[in-house]
Amino acid sequence: MPTFEADVCIIGGGISAALLAQKLAELRPGTSTLVIEAGDRLFDTEKRWQDRLRSLAYGENPWPGDVIPDQSAEGVISRTMAVGGSALHWGGVTNRFSAEDLRLQSLYGLAVDWPLSWDELERFYCEAERRIGVAGEPGPLDEDRRSEPYPMAAMPLSWNLRELKAWAESSGLPFWATPQAKNTVPYDGRSECRRCNTCEICPTGARYSPDETFRRLLASKAITLHDRTLVRRLVPEQAGGASPRLAVAEAVHRDRPAEPVEYRARVFVVAAGYCWSPHLLLLSASSRFPRGIANRSGTVGRYMTGHAFIGAQIELDAEIYPGMNDQHSLISRQFFRCAPDQPYVRHDLRIWESSVGREPRLKDSNGRVLMGDAVLADWRARAKRGAARVRAYYDAHPAADSSLTLDPNATNRFGDALPRIAHKLDAATEARLPATRRHLLDLFARLARQQNGKILSTSEGTYLDHPAGGCRMGTDPASSVCDSFGRTHDHANLFVVGAPTLPTGGCTNGTLTFAALTLRSASEVAATIGR
């Protein structure tokens, strides 16, 4: 059997893996780092322009080849499996969580505290923002103070967002530009944003994308990348009793399924996201470890988390021109805090330009067919008023049985059971849902009272966004999978990094937090290699 050896073996090729590999190369030059990714490398940046156009014109996948058809999961929110991971399609929103997210139990008696302090995490937020390249403006709230400025000035507010900011702030709430991983000036060898409006496939490279980090690491020979290679099992050493070191990652190249390969390393890092990380640990069950690897606590694949959301479309008196930059938005962090003596509700609040109710249509309100000039006249009449999309991600905590399990009825072509994710909120979250909904709908109504506004529709999310968890961190090995650095309690040379380590999912976009935690882990991984 072919065997590959390295100092560090990183399993997964998404944003966490990219940042980890990059930082390891800096902290410990000369370290051999091997990255294993099940999907393909899609490095043809010239083709990206064509793919973008075809996506716009025909609705084709903007990242053709980023899916492994037989490697799916029930309940997963994205099918991307490629070098770069889900962040290939990333919108680039880089909000931070808040200090409250790390102290839910201490402050509110809810969920659990995270096993690290806000000040500690904040340092790594700054590092993540520097590495990724974040453009933002500091918010007006004292609680959001930063120890370093944003690396770049914020994305300018378009005419539309300026109009919407004036409207929204007349309700008494502050709003400002959402921070984004997009260059507002040339940064880190990448160009300035050209406002192409298709951030899910940025044709210019102005939006951070981890595939670019991998390209550079490969060019400098800082890493070895084995793509199209699926890790199927993690195998511990025979010695070591109940807490052995990890010895081998067994894998198979998708083009040579009959020839298994194995990877040996001093340190293994599972960086495969919220779905495939706990899946691999569970899939590695054996007679010696019947519950899987790193799972003495029984918490692998549990406490699957994320945030719930409610949105609305609001019509208002404002001069809005849909299409100026509908990828950019306003944010308010006014409700990231909740007084401990008040009913608990925490959420972000975002506003985008919208064209809802202002699109061209085939039939008028009386059902009459419109053609030619009549379409334009009808469209223009409805476009006299503007529209906004508003949405709040709200804090919702996972139940212990919010789970990722192995589905015996769904297997890939190698016969491995595939994951099934079933999110479940804890009892306290369920109990306060009616009040949370009332609060948010009242907030939308408060906005709609300005400038002759009218709520056109409301909608409630049917999944948890920015999912995380499944290998939650904690100080107690009986109730968590890993420590605050992602080192598993059961295996000293096995780490899990990024999204799966989150105990709770916060109330705003998670990617920057996944990145910050990973960068903090990287220091510990580097130290472990040196020991």
Sites of contact with other proteins (CB under 8 A):
49-50, 53-62, 64, 67, 69, 76-79, 89, 155-159, 162, 184, 192-198, 203-204, 319, 321-325, 359-363, 369, 371-373, 375-376, 379-380, 383, 462-463, 465
Q: Quick check: helix, strand or coil at residue 103? A: strand
Q: How far is the CB of 279 from other proteins (least distance, A)?
A: 17
* Number of neighbouring beta carbons within 10 Å of residue 360: 12
Q: Pick the closer one to other proteins by CB: 38 or 121.
A: 38
Q: Where are any strands of DSSP class E within 78-205?
A: 176-177
**What is the Cα–Cα distance from 526 to 267, expressed in whole angstroms?**
9
Q: How far is the CB of 466 from other proteins (least distance, A)?
A: 11
Q: Pick the closer one to other proteins by CB: 1 or 369.
A: 369
172, 188 contact by CB (below 8 A):
no
Q: How far is the CB of 368 from other proteins (least distance, A)?
A: 9
Judged on CB neighbours under 10 Å (0-12, 13-18, 19+), 192 is middle
Q: How far is the CB of 425 from other proteins (least distance, A)?
A: 17
**What is the Cα–Cα distance from 112 to 48, expressed in whole angstroms?**
43
Q: Pick the closer one to other proteins by CB: 210 or 503.
A: 210
Q: Quick check: helix, strand or coil at residue 349? A: strand
Q: Pick the closer one to other proteins by CB: 58 or 219.
A: 58
Q: Pick the closer one to other proteins by CB: 82 or 529.
A: 82
Q: How far is the CB of 226 from other proteins (least distance, A)?
A: 25
Q: How far is the CB of 353 from other proteins (least distance, A)?
A: 11
Q: How far is CA 265 from CA 26, 191, 239, 255, 400, in A?
A: 19, 37, 16, 24, 33
Q: Pick the closer one to other proteins by CB: 414 or 463.
A: 463
Long-range contacts of 287-291 (CB under 8 A, 24+ apart): 288/236, 289/236
Residue 34: which region, alpha, beta or left (left: phi > 0; alpha: psi -120 to 50)?
A: beta
Q: Pick the closer one to other proteins by CB: 162 or 256.
A: 162
9, 245 contact by CB (below 8 A):
no
- Residue for token pair 């899910």: 200
Q: How far is the CB of 411 from other proteins (least distance, A)?
A: 17
